[in-house]
Structure 1
Amino acid sequence: MVDRNLLREFDISDEEFSTAVFTEDGHDEDPMASFLEEGQEYVLNTIVHGKVIDIVGDQAVVDVGYKAEGLVPLNEWDEHEGRPVPGDEVEVLLEGMDDDTGEILLSRRKAHRMRAWENVISKHAEGDVVTGRVTKKIKGGLLVDIGVNVFLPASQVDIRRPSDIGDYLDTEIQCMILKIDEGRRNIVVSRRKLIEEQRARQKEKLLSEIEIGQVRKGVVKNIADFGAFVDLGGIDGLLHITDMSWGRINHPSDMVRIDDTIEVMVLNVDRDREKIALGLKQKSPSPWENIGEKYPEGSRVAGEVVNVMSYGAFVKLEEGIEGLVHISEMSWTKRINHPSELVQIGDKVDVVVLGINRDKQEISLGMKQTQPNPWDQVAQKYPPGTMVDGTVRNLTNYGAFIEIEEGIDGLLHISDMSWTRKIGHPNELLEKGQQVSCQVLNVDQERKRIALGLKQLKQDPWETDIPDRYHPGDVVVGKVTKLTNFGVFVELEPGLEGLLHISELAEHKVDSPEEIVNVGDDIEVKILRVDRGERKIGLSKKKAAWSKEEIEAEETQAQAPSAGAVAGTAPAPPKKDSSLKGGLGGGGPLFSMPAAEAEAAAEPEADSEPEADSGTEQEAASVAEAVAESEPEAVAELEPEAAEEPKAEAAPEPTEPETEAEKTEG
């Protein structure tokens, strides 16, 4: 709200407009009568003509035709008017008289303001357009001199309220008169209203003329992160950041500034919604038009790195043409976690064009293709049987990856770590960073995989002394190393274990091995079977004290039911109430057991069991899938070679007790 005193433009109160009289004895008396010649009339707060008759100090003595003269301060003459001199004609406002000095009170400044007001009122009405200079910034707006000071509210300065209306000081502007209050001698004007009406006329004209493809001049009015708004004369069109340049732009301010006059092409016109899309780059041909001719696939070109992301680096080949070097196309051998390990913004690099998608305006580039692929020479460099030294780079549940040179890894499968020891996880033998020597078993150059062996560095003891040192019927002492639901593993010597099946723990039926033994116990066992082909040793605790004759008798009795069945006679009951049947995984049953127990412990015959160490290629692929499903995190963290098919020993253990024993024994 405008200050009331400010709106009283001439500093004249309501009382000043009245011809005040006063009485002392109840009779009206004119206080100016003593100043007037006989027959003279006067009206307070009116303009009268006078003449300067003298200059006294800083005041001019002015004769207005009354008995007494009035005084007007010299500061009521502007500097450009010059100092008054006797004889000058002046117009002054008759304000009253000073009883103490006997002088008439006059004001030249107020007379000028009143004349200016009368002049403005006589020439202008509400709705007229006036021109004036901004003279002062006040609370709520600006003062504009159009002959008298008028009020321009801040909300009416422009269509979009400026950040600082003080920027308009001492500038000449056009406004529309919104309201004239003659009683308060106040005028309110609006520049915004004038602009809106002008833009409405311009908008109507522009929409009737504008067409797609035209090039027009405009003024940048606003800038946002996504583009710039350009005033075409009545309508603001949007110049999107993607339509500013064929090249890379970080922000629209890189291309344009507010109040810039620019030429733009009309890309689209929505007359119903009064929206116009503009473009700058469309004024020049697209560099993608003949991209295939300039950069054929397979060609080697030089470029500059302009952006680095987690998935790759963008390389500028020319203005407006950028290609992506994916992180997987940066090096043949180096394991790269982030492209910034190899390149930085501003680097000059050589790349090979891998592919072009003209519709999407995309180019795939490669950096590693500028260098020879080391895998092309791996088969020749590391034939099977080669001895190599490497570093353990990673451990999985089915093996260890050994780096034999930078970026070249081989898989040391868990089954190729020891001839005799049952290894549950590679960390039982190896640790990350350890230096090891291995033998190359196989090279799959096409799939970029190398199979390594550790146990192959030594002679297979199963082919030499184990069958010579351990014989069926021998009683030996071993240490319990592992308990399972189907039996006990017993270490006979470092790296060599035998399986003590649960049925061979005691004469009576045992539900759990923990009832009889514990891990770490030293126990006496009898060797039942040494299977060189299966690399397994079958043990028995309950038969450790049996004689050879007792064991042979049980074997004979175990075979009796078959003969009886052929003859049509009922089989004789066994001598013992529990015994091992096929528990060692090969060659058919060695001992018989009661039918109830046989049914409870039933398992496939050894002849039908698949070979664990010599599975087909199809079986290896199935195992690899099982490993990938059961260990997704371990596989995900590896390089492509981590998908190496684990051997059959890495497969999940079967649920049948005796089959499990056969797969894990020895």
Structure 2
Amino acid sequence: MSEETNMMENRDFQTGDRVKGVVAKIEEKAVTVTIEGAPFDGIIPISELSSLHIEKASDSVEVGDELDLIITKIEDENFVLSKRKVDAELAWGELEKKFESGEIIEAEVKDVVKGGLVVDLGVRGFVPASLVEDYFVESFEDYKGKELTFKIVEMEKENNRLILSHRAVIEKEKESQKEKVMEKIHAGDELKGKVQRIASFGAFVDIGGVDGLVHISQLSHEHVEKVSDVVTEGQEVTVKVLSVDRDSERISLSIKDTLPGPWDTIDEKAPKGSVHTGTVKRLVSYGAFVEVLPGVEGLVHISQIAHKHIATPNEELSEGQEVQVKVLEVNKADKRLSLSIKELQEKQGDQDFSNYEMPEESSGFSISDVIGDKLKGFKPE
């Protein structure tokens, strides 16, 4: 056994020992430390300073720092030391407890790499891109240096593998917020919200931590072909709560019910006696429903379709046909309009006598009995 080795054993410095070192000198790729009671200084290679990749040793430590270290090798009157291994050993113990308890961890994003984020928790923690947010992120460049909260979702100490999720924290917070909101809101409430997402069948609106659905039929009093014709993502809207299903966590909302209805100003828009161009929407046995204003339909009773007798409305009208109608009555309270088509048509026969047949002489009627006063004042040329 060499004299050097004997000296090391006498002083009890051996590979694997934990020691405290004070930073005496910093070079680009290594740090020199003094160790109390040791016969010579120790060297920490840059790769053993941190669990993360660092470009310069000065990025990790400063002169005068006291560090917990482990001796990894003894050679050429030098200790080769590691700070990284000590940090990792301490960190894994704490991280295992936090993993088991589901504790939330707050840490700074140290680096942005392909596929996600890197966090220093004494060991290198990786956050896959899919676990950063609960929505798609185009670029993560702005995340470097940012403090975020994380939950450990996977860890393998033997493989030095630590997977973190910020998304899990967000989803838990949203779930908690959702429960609170679900308890507070009731059918009939009017709330402010923001359009989060648009689908073919409606729009999802955030009303304070929980999304509710405004079905396409509840967007407007008018017929809506496309949801995007009425609302856009990010738009602030006022909604009315139609129903709350706490078991399925579904909330039905309406924008239409917060807007003035077409019947609110019906007295001004379609007063009695006014004439409108409308569209036949439905034909029923007793008449035709005609839309005279967006969201406002009135009934043309079968007796008001034509001057002549008809058995069914189909004889004169078809769905989708444009017609001129006159308002006969307005019932705002019951949302009813009585309309007439025949009021705007000339009565057949008022000026045309060509279809009259002369009665037979035996009947005892004269032409004057048939056309009456129409002959008064008539002078032949």
After TM superposition, the score normalised by the length of structure 1 is 0.36
Contact 1:298–1:353 (Cα < 8 Å) also in 2 = no
Aligned-partner Cα distance in 2 for 1:249–1:191: 39
> How has the CA–CA distance of structure 1 residues 321 and 272 changed in structure 2, closer, same or farther, with 3 Å as cutoff?
same
Deviations 1:279-317 (A, max 9, x none): 1232233231342553135525799xxxxxxxxxx9996
Out of 108, 112, 117, the position equivalent to 1:136 is 112
Contact 2:28–2:58 (Cα < 8 Å) also in 1 = no
After TM superposition, the score normalised by the length of structure 2 is 0.58
Mapped pair 1:33 → 2:9? no
Code of the residue aligned with 1:283 in structure 2: it is T
Deviations 1:573-596 (A, max 9, x none): xxxxxxxxxxxxxxxxxxxxxxxx
Kindly state the Cα deviation for residue 268 of structure 1 after the two structures are TM-superposed: 1.9
Aligned-partner Cα distance in 2 for 1:192–1:88: 36
Contact 1:131–1:174 (Cα < 8 Å) also in 2 = yes
Out of 238, 243, 254, the position equivalent to 2:218 is 243
> How has the CA–CA distance of structure 1 residues 34 and 67 changed in structure 2, closer, same or farther, with 3 Å as cutoff?
farther
Aligned CA RMSD, in angstroms, stands at: 5.1
Code of the residue aligned with 1:188 in structure 2: it is I
Kindly state the Cα deviation for residue 60 of structure 1 after the two structures are TM-superposed: 3.7
Kindly state the Cα deviation for residue 90 of structure 1 after the two structures are TM-superposed: 3.8
2:42 aligns with 70
Code of the residue aligned with 1:246 in structure 2: it is H
Kindly state the Cα deviation for residue 267 of structure 1 after the two structures are TM-superposed: 1.1
> How has the CA–CA distance of structure 1 residues 108 and 202 changed in structure 2, closer, same or farther, with 3 Å as cutoff?
closer
Structure 1 residue ranges, 4+ long, deviating more than 6 angstroms after superposition: 29-32, 314-317, 356-366
> How has the CA–CA distance of structure 1 residues 103 and 275 changed in structure 2, closer, same or farther, with 3 Å as cutoff?
same
Deviations 1:135-181 (A, max 9, x none): 43554x654455644344556556xx634475584454433333443
Code of the residue aligned with 2:199 in structure 1: it is A
Out of 37, 51, 56, the position equivalent to 2:22 is 51
- Relative contact order (alpha carbons < 8 A, sep ≥ 6): 1 or 2 greater? 2
Mapped pair 1:42 → 2:14? yes
Aligned-partner Cα distance in 1 for 2:347–2:215: 49
Aligned-partner Cα distance in 1 for 2:33–2:207: 59
SS of structure 1 residue aligned to 2:253: strand
1:146-225 correspondence to structure 2 within 5 Å: 148-153=123-128, 156-157=131-132, 162-164=135-137, 166=139, 169-170=143-144, 172-225=147-200
> How has the CA–CA distance of structure 1 residues 272 and 37 changed in structure 2, closer, same or farther, with 3 Å as cutoff?
closer
Code of the residue aligned with 1:220 in structure 2: it is V
> How has the CA–CA distance of structure 1 residues 77 and 302 changed in structure 2, closer, same or farther, with 3 Å as cutoff?
farther
Contact 2:276–2:326 (Cα < 8 Å) also in 1 = no
2:271 aligns with 296
> How has the CA–CA distance of structure 1 residues 218 and 57 changed in structure 2, closer, same or farther, with 3 Å as cutoff?
closer
SS of structure 1 residue aligned to 2:217: helix
Deviations 1:17-75 (A, max 9, x none): xxxxxxxxxxxx7998267262323242x553223444567644323354343334572
Aligned-partner Cα distance in 2 for 1:137–1:254: 40
Mapped pair 1:61 → 2:32? yes
Aligned-partner Cα distance in 2 for 1:364–1:185: 81
> How has the CA–CA distance of structure 1 residues 251 and 63 changed in structure 2, closer, same or farther, with 3 Å as cutoff?
same
SS of structure 2 residue aligned to 1:183: helix
Contact 1:218–1:233 (Cα < 8 Å) also in 2 = yes
Kindly state the Cα deviation for residue 215 of structure 1 after the two structures are TM-superposed: 1.9
1:478-489 correspondence to structure 2 within 5 Å: none
Aligned-partner Cα distance in 2 for 1:31–1:164: 62
Say which one has the larger Rg: 1
1:186-585 correspondence to structure 2 within 5 Å: 186-232=161-207, 235-247=210-222, 249-258=224-233, 262-296=237-271, 298-300=273-275, 353-354=325-326
Kindly state the Cα deviation for residue 212 of structure 1 after the two structures are TM-superposed: 1.2
Aligned-partner Cα distance in 2 for 1:31–1:184: 39
1:309 aligns with none
